[in-house]
Amino acid sequence: MDNAMLIGLSRQLTLRREMDITANNIANASTEGFKAERVLLEPREAARARHQDGPARVQFVGEWAMGRDFTQGVLTPTGRPLDLALDGPGYFVLDTPAGERFTRDGRFTLNAAGELTAADGARVLDEGGAPIVINRELGPVEISANGALSQGGIPGPRLALAAFEQPGLLSKTGDNRYQAPDDAERLDARPEVRQGFSEASNVRPILEMTRMMEVSRAYQSVTRMIRDADELSRKAIERLGRP
Q: Same structural domain for residues 92 and 176?
A: yes
Q: Is the pLDDT of residue 131 over 90?
A: yes
Same-domain check for residues 122 and 223: no
Residues 149 and 52 in one domain: no
Question: Percentage of the chain surpassing pLDDT 70?
Answer: 93
The boundaries of the domain holding residue 218 are 3-70+203-240
Domain count, the chain: 2
Q: Are 147 and 194 in contact (CB under 8 A)?
A: no
pLDDT band at 188 (very low <50, low <70, confident <90, very high): confident
Q: Which pTM was predicted? A: 0.81
User: Based on the domain organization, do 109 and 190 belong to the same domain?
Assistant: yes
In this prediction, residue 241 carries a pLDDT of 67
Q: Are residues 42 and 155 in the same domain?
A: no
d(CA 192, CA 32): 17
Q: How many other β-carbons are positioned within 10 Å of the β-carbon of residue 146? A: 12
Q: Read off the pLDDT of residues 7-44 as tens digits, 9 standing for 90 and up.
A: 888 888 899 999 999 999 999 999 999 999 998 887 77
Confidence band of 48 (pLDDT split at 50, 70, 90):
low
The answer on 144 and 88 residing in a single domain is yes
Backbone CA torsion sign across 133, 136, 138, 141? positive
Judgement on whether residues 92 and 44 belong to the same structural domain of the protein: no
Predicted confidence at residue 225, as pLDDT, reads: 87
